[in-house]
Structure 1
Amino acid sequence: MDQIATALVWLDYAAVAVFGATGALAAARRQHDIVTFGFFAAVTGVGGGTLRDLLLGAPVFWIAKPGYLAACLAAALAVWIVGPGPGRAKVLLWLDAVGLSAYCIVGAAKASALGAPPLTAVVMGVLTACLGGVIRDVLAHEPSVLLRREIYVTCAMLGAGLFVILQTFGVAGLPAGLAGAALAFGVRAGAILWDWSLPGFPGRRSD
């Protein structure tokens, strides 16, 4: 059990750092200064987890553990040092996919540990994984992930859902989390590589 808890903590830090890097990359695309890099990274990295904790009535995770903010700022500094280069948009997509896959499991696991029902745990996993990206896109004046036809939120829902189902059937936390993260990443990778999307509502738009 201690090993599972330790793995989740490291996964949490890694996901926050990765999401922080996507925030910094979004700032880089707009050629912002270093302070804005840090702000984008912090808001993107901890945004989803903050709302999750508030909704669950839990202490906000980064208040007592500022190491999470430090991870975001370190990611922003790394992006700043690396500087401009080709393929930044593609790097952003893949880093975001990794963060999404990890964070949907972290959010669902924390909600389950706090006694949330299975469906609530899945919703908290989706919220944890997706809200940071939504905030990042709004700040960067990019089209929100929620308004794109490509599969995004569905990936987090599938990953968190598989994790919660496996836990319900007695599968240990670590293998359940790895399975859920792998499913989320696999579906997101398919959406990136082959433009997978869900069907839209049929019919014509009204003027």
Structure 2
Amino acid sequence: MNAELTFLFIIEVIGTIAFAISGIRMAAAKHFDWFGAYTVGLVTAIGGGTLRDILLGIPVFWMQTWWYLAVTGLSLFIVIAFKKILVKTQILFIFDTIGLGLFVVIGIQKTIAADYPFWVAVIMGVITGALGGVIRDILVNNEPLLFQKDIYATACFAGGIVYWIMSLTGASQLAQGLACAAVVILIRILAVRFSWSLPVLNQNE
């Protein structure tokens, strides 16, 4: 396995754990049982990638190996074992943000590997990163972040543009992925820290 494939595998594992923990932790806050929390965590981790693969016409990634189910189980154990630490909202935000950044990279790289143009790759990066969180929020009866004025999908899009710019410079796929994830994570953190938001569409104005 070369360096780039190793990098893709590592970020997929980390991203899956991060998103699964964010989903499980949110389900726990709503007093779901273990099975319900596991289900929410799994859907959070695989939801965006599932739609991506269906749209791209390629085999759905989690149906090719069992380890996505196992990693979600590990995430459930982590939440149970460290629940006193994970009750902090900031921790949930960190896991969600890390998963968001890493999944955007995965979505872009898999789309490019399927020989689609880069504008499609950026869209698939946004879908891979953001859709799992949307499904998670719906399952726990929260208004999805994607539909609020919060900077969420916009951060994914910005990361995708950075990936594209890096590709034009001839940078390695590893460097492109790192830059993309870093931008998504940084924008999310800064948006929350400084209360950045998109304009609200108000029909009464």
SS of the residue 2:171 aligns to = coil
Give yes or no for contact 1:34–1:80 (8 Å, CA) kept in 2.
Answer: no
Q: How many residues align?
A: 205
CA-to-partner distance for each residue in 1:30-64, whole Å, 9 max, x for gaps?
11111111111111011111111111011111111
Q: How does 1:152-191 map to 2 (within 5 A)?
A: 152-191=152-191
Give yes or no for contact 1:159–1:184 (8 Å, CA) kept in 2.
Answer: yes
Look up the match of 1:71: 71
Q: Compare 132-141 and 81-90 and name the one that shifted more.
A: 81-90
Q: Compare 91-100 and 163-172 and name the one that shifted more.
A: 163-172
Distance of 1:30 and 1:85 partners within structure 2:
17
Look up the match of 1:99: 99
CA-to-partner distance for each residue in 1:49-97, whole Å, 9 max, x for gaps?
1111111011111111111121112101210222345753222111111
Distance of 1:54 and 1:91 partners within structure 2:
32
Change (3 A) 1:85 1:17: closer
Q: Compare 33-42 and 84-93 and name the one that shifted more.
A: 84-93
Q: Compare 114-123 and 60-69 and name the one that shifted more.
A: 60-69
Look up the match of 1:13: 13
Q: Compare 191-200 and 13-22 and name the one that shifted more.
A: 191-200
Change (3 A) 1:86 1:51: closer
Identity of aligned residues (%): 34
Deviating 4+ runs (over 4 angstroms): 84-87
Distance of 2:135 and 2:203 partners within structure 1:
31
Look up the match of 1:137: 137
SS of the residue 1:65 aligns to = coil
Distance of 1:11 and 1:165 partners within structure 2:
21
Unaligned runs of 5+ in 1: none
Look up the match of 1:56: 56
Q: Displacement, 1:202?
A: 5.8
Query: TM-score, structure 1 length as denominator?
Result: 0.93
- Aligned-residue CA RMSD (Å): 1.6
Give yes or no for contact 2:79–2:86 (8 Å, CA) kept in 1.
Answer: no
Unaligned runs of 5+ in 2: none
Distance of 1:32 and 1:192 partners within structure 2:
27
Give yes or no for contact 2:134–2:145 (8 Å, CA) kept in 1.
Answer: yes
Partner amino acid for 2:197? S
Distance of 2:86 and 2:73 partners within structure 1:
23
Change (3 A) 1:54 1:189: same
Give yes or no for contact 2:4–2:173 (8 Å, CA) kept in 1.
Answer: yes
Distance of 2:85 and 2:2 partners within structure 1:
41
Give yes or no for contact 2:53–2:59 (8 Å, CA) kept in 1.
Answer: yes
CA-to-partner distance for each residue in 1:159-197, whole Å, 9 max, x for gaps?
122112322432110111111111111100011211111
Distance of 1:85 and 1:176 partners within structure 2:
33
Q: Compare 13-22 and 71-80 and name the one that shifted more.
A: 71-80
SS of the residue 2:27 aligns to = helix
Give yes or no for contact 1:25–1:88 (8 Å, CA) kept in 2.
Answer: no
Look up the match of 1:82: 82
Change (3 A) 1:159 1:134: same
SS of the residue 1:151 aligns to = coil
